[in-house]
Copies of this chain bind each other. A is one copy, B any other.
Amino acid sequence: MRADQALGAKFESWLAMGFDETRCPVRRLLDHVGDRWSMLLLAALAGGPRRFSALARAVPDISKRMLTQTLRTLETDGLVHRDVQPTVPPSVTYSLTPLGVSFAGPLLGLVEWAEANFGAVVAARARMAAAA
């Protein structure tokens, strides 16, 4: 079956089940993982453990506030492990848990699609702008 048909069938079955949005696993996961910073940080950590400030340097336009917040969410969701060394000043290292590593597959698919189809999207935007 083609992916779009499979996806459509899945969606239909959710509808048929009368899926309350609070119980739909996909909804509840994407609400957490499906924002720009989560995906970016997971990609950054896919290469290996990093410290807080290294992450801040790797993703320069994230604010410390969002970095802290996003890492905390990823930690409570079990995707990221937070390791504090009680040195002075304390140093904190973040790494992917096995669950986080397992997310790399789907995420890589998304990234590859983005790289392959970015040109098409830019062209579409130009067409729409010209038409308007």
Contact = CB atoms under 8 A, between A and B. Distances in A.
Interface residues on A, range: 35 or more
A30 B114 CA distance: 8
A58 B61 CA distance: 36
The residue among A3, A5, A21, A110 with the most chain B CB atoms within 10 A of its own CB is A110
Contacts of A86: none
Given A25-B118, A118-B25, A121-B77, A36 B30 contact: yes
B78 A99 contact: no
A67 interface: no
A127 to B, nearest CB: 8
A21 B32 CA distance: 22
